[in-house]
Amino acid sequence: MSQGKVYLVGAGPGAEKLITVRGLECLRMADVIVYDRLANPRLLRFAKPEAEFVFCGKLPKHHTLRQEAINELLVQKAKEGKTVVRLKGGDPSVFGRVGEEAAELAGQGIEYEIVPGITAGIAASVYAGIPVTHREYGTSFAVVTGHTKTENGRPIVDWASLGGVDTLAFYMGVKNLPYICDSLISHGRHPKTPVALISWGTMGRQQTVQGTLETIVQRVREAGLKNPAITLVGDIVSLRDQIQWFEKKPLFGRRILVARTGGEQGNLANALAEQGADVIEYPYFSVRGVENKTTEEMMVRSGEYERILFTSPESAAFFFEAYRQSGKDIREITPAFYTLSRRTKRKLQEMGFVSEQTEPFSAEGKWLIIGEVSILNDREKYETKWGPCDVMAVYKKEECREYNMNMVRLLREEGVDTVIFPSAASVGTLVRSLEQAGFDPRTVLSAASLICMGEKTAKAIQEAGYTVNRMAASPTLASLLSCLTFEKINV
């Protein structure tokens, strides 16, 4: 067996798009992903469906896996011939213990690569409107640990040597903030020196508290701010009032759950995140094409039908991919195309096909209804609605279990203030998935504002026993964003 390789990857400061291109490449090819609590779990959806996941999240006084066990795991999986990604929040070389892991791999003769990430001290700061250097405010910058493995946890720092550094960034120093402030003042920093603490930087839940060395401790206590946090000290902090940008986004501070039904990448979550929201997509699925003798036979006969109904965007994509691979001439397909949703209609338009979005109707001639494997159990239902038909499964949908488990964890820890249902089907899918995860749906749906896109979806929400708070004026992204921006939520 050939030996594998380990990639020690920085996931960035929190926002999923701040991972590097190389980091994303490594995630996509990994057989095993060993990930931390501070690595955005949304990144896990880029992994292969068959990848193995190991969570080694660390909380104060509680480690899922000790560092020694993590080192042993990386070596073991690489010796099994696996491609392993060790996914760490921020940059792995900035208080990320990558040196210890790399040394262990090197000692065991394991090939490895260190992939840098954007460190929180820089990213969280600039997302709070504070650049770490500026020609007029600070031309030097230092990062300092805010806690250590000592008995009292206080950082062991040569405080006098920090006196000549304009801007200081302390990592994870909330607990030791009084000691840090007192030490800086006693070693020459003016008590009026500006200070800012940024918790969960670059995320929609980002929280920033400002003060000075003599006032910041009390202000942080009043705000209830906790780790993970960056403490910035220096005159440059005063720039925040002038150039802060992220916290001014229209949906900043909102925590939104988007209920999903399919596996195709949508643009809704990205659009909400662009407006500053923290977004949870749940449940999430991976999709893959299916091939069997029956499907191949129906593919050959597809031109014999009067109408073809595509039940999802994925059904269109996989059908035409299978048709292309069959070697048949696409011009032999003569039936009219129908869809059940605007998303599927748009998918066909992107591929160069005209379709009609329609409600069920019966007519002379036979339908070919194309969808996911579960459609094979629904033939009778479709015949009742659409008349004589054949059903054809072109893809299989599977739950992304590790990703979904992490989304449920976030729901338990943080909750959401808004739930968006893009379709009627998303209502039942969300409720069933939460129940299967051992989570009472009422915990989420009764405490959040429920927003839907369309009357059919509103009806499905009401039939499930919940109240619709708002309905987008039209089933479009622009209308939904307008609806969300208009609605005020106490966050």
How many other C-beta atoms lie within 10 A of the C-beta of residue 438? 7
- Residue where one domain finishes, among candidates 382, 399, 416: 399
DSSP conformation class of 208? E
Query: Domain ends where: 378, 399, 420?
Result: 399
Distance CA 363, CA 306 (A): 10
Are both 305 and 180 inside the same structural domain?
no
Query: Do residues 166 and 240 both lie within one domain?
Result: yes
Q: Is 409 found in the same domain as 279?
A: yes
In this structure, the strands spanning 32-35 and 52-55 are parallel
Domain with residue 263: its CATH number is 3.40.50.10090
- SS3 for 229? strand
| 264 and 276 together in one domain | yes
**Does 130 lie in the same domain as 87?**
no
Q: Which amino acid would we find at residue 379? A: R
From 399, 429, 460, the end of a domain falls on 399
Task: Check whether residue 19 and residue 114 sit in a common domain.
Answer: yes
Residue with tokens 């194309």: 370
Tally the domains of the chain: 4
Burial of 88 (0-12, 13-18, 19+ CB in 10 A): buried
In-domain check, residue 491:
no
pLDDT in tens, the chain (491 residues): 689 999 999 999 999 999 999 999 999 999 999 999 899 999 999 999 899 999 987 544 445 688 899 999 999 999 999 999 999 999 999 999 999 999 999 999 999 999 999 999 999 999 999 999 999 999 999 999 988 777 778 888 899 999 899 999 999 999 999 999 999 999 999 999 999 999 999 999 999 999 999 999 999 999 999 999 999 999 999 999 999 999 999 999 999 999 998 776 668 899 999 999 999 999 999 888 887 777 777 777 777 888 899 999 999 999 988 888 878 788 888 889 999 888 899 899 999 999 988 877 777 778 899 999 988 888 888 888 888 888 989 999 888 999 999 999 999 988 999 999 998 889 999 999 999 999 999 999 999 999 998 888 999 999 999 999 999 888 778 888 888 877 655 44
Quote the domain boundaries for residue 435. Answer: 255-284+400-486
Give the active site residues.
36, 58, 172
149 found inside a domain:
yes
Helix (H, G, I), strand (E, B) or coil at 212: strand
User: Are residue 228 and residue 342 in the same domain, yes or no?
Assistant: no
Closest to 220 (Cα-Cα) out of 232, 228, 208, 204:
208
**Could you tell me if 56 and 114 lie in one domain?**
yes
H or E element, residue 101: helix 98-107
Which pTM does this prediction carry?
A: 0.87
- For residues 128 and 244, membership in a common domain is answered with yes
